[in-house]
Amino acid sequence: MAVSTRVADRPGFILHSYPYSETSLLVEAFTREHGRMPLIAKGAKRPQSAWRGVLLAFQPLLLSWSGRGDVKTLTGAEWQGGLPMLGGRALACGFYLNELLLKLLAREDAHPGLFDTYRAALDGLAGAADQAACLRRFELRLLSELGYGLSLTHEAESAQPLDPGSRYHYVFERGPMPYSVHGDVARYPEVSGQTLLAMAHEEFANAAVKAEAKALFRALINRMLDRQVLHSRQLLRDLQAFDEPSL
């Protein structure tokens, strides 16, 4: 029999909410100390609910909940402030971060480091920071938090230090292998030594590094998603179709 818990005022974000019955919401929260938590927000859809305007994604909140079983009941949500509402392209990037967390994090698996990384990424997106660099830094830390840390300084088998001027294949779960046109290794994403070394220092300012890192993370994340579609990525692709000259 699950023990009843009562938790008060823990930092968290709302990742997404789904309608749950006529007047309530099922909220997927990402909390610092308890990880991803499904919470029922009773009455949150009523016109006069005090939670309207509070249970919004991308806003730092203090969440309280209680209950037993897998899905707890939200008992309090307080707006913390300090982060402007995301708008425009930053919002599209924000949805991508939330979708990654929803699809890759197990429930109630605490990752305080990842929580802080998420918060920093939102700060970057809300400010004037380089959005692509924010996303790459988040992806890098997400992978290492989930136990898929990349090896970015030495070759996988020979343990030779990487040469910034050489090309490599990044072999999943092993690391960089010297570039080759034949064999098993050639199936893996191709990347330069310069990019891998820049990634090791979380430096994504260079345009070539940015493009290669994006392609590499895409391949790594697709593998982790195991054929689940990333809707936030698909949406951007669908919208780009409208900018074709035919319309």
Partner 1 sequence: MNPPSSLEELVQALRCLPGVGPKAAQRMTLHLLQHDPAGGTRLAEALKKALSNIRHCEQCNTFTESALCALCASGKRDPALLCVVETPADLLMIEQTQAYSGLYFVLMGRLSPLDGVGPKDIHVERLLRRAGDGVVREVVLATNFTVEGEATAHHLGELLRARGLAVSRLARGVPVGGELEYVDSGTLAQALRDRRVV
Q: Does residue 42 belong to the site contacting partner 1 (CB under 8 A)?
A: no
Q: Does residue 30 belong to the site contacting partner 1 (CB under 8 A)?
A: no
Write down the least CB distance from residue 236 to partner 1, Å.
9
Mode of pairing for the β-strands spanning 5-20 and 24-31: antiparallel
Q: Does residue 24 belong to the site contacting partner 1 (CB under 8 A)?
A: no
Q: Does residue 102 belong to the site contacting partner 1 (CB under 8 A)?
A: yes
Q: Does residue 4 belong to the site contacting partner 1 (CB under 8 A)?
A: no
When the beta carbons of 3 and 106 are compared against partner 1, the nearer one is: 106
At a CB cut-off of 8 Å and minimum separation 6, what does 129 contact?
Answer: 123
Exactly one of 26, 62, 91, 129 binds partner 1 (CB under 8 A); that residue is 91
Q: What is the spatial order of strands in the sheet that 175-178 belongs to?
A: 175-178, 167-171, 190-192
Q: Does residue 49 belong to the site contacting partner 1 (CB under 8 A)?
A: no
- Integer Cα distance of 148 and 143 in angstroms: 5
Write down the least CB distance from residue 82 to partner 1, Å.
9
Write down the least CB distance from residue 184 to partner 1, Å.
35
Task: Please provide the DSSP assignment of 131-188 as one string.
Answer: HHHHHHHHHHHHHHHTT-PPP-SB-TTT-PBPPTTSEEEEETTTEEEE--SSTGGGGS
The DSSP call for residue 106 is P
Phi-psi region of 226 (alpha: psi -120 to 50; beta: other; left: phi over 0): left
Q: Does residue 139 belong to the site contacting partner 1 (CB under 8 A)?
A: no
Distances (CA, A) of 178 to 12, 17, 40, 96: 43, 45, 51, 32
Site string for partner 1, 184-223 (x = CB under 8 A): ----------------------------------------
Q: Does residue 235 belong to the site contacting partner 1 (CB under 8 A)?
A: yes
Extract the tokens encoding 138.
Answer: 């988040």
Judged by the rule CB under 8 A, the positions of this chain that interact with partner 1 are: 15-16, 22, 50, 53-54, 56-59, 79, 81, 84-89, 91-92, 94-96, 98-99, 102, 229, 231-232, 234-235, 238-239, 242-243, 247
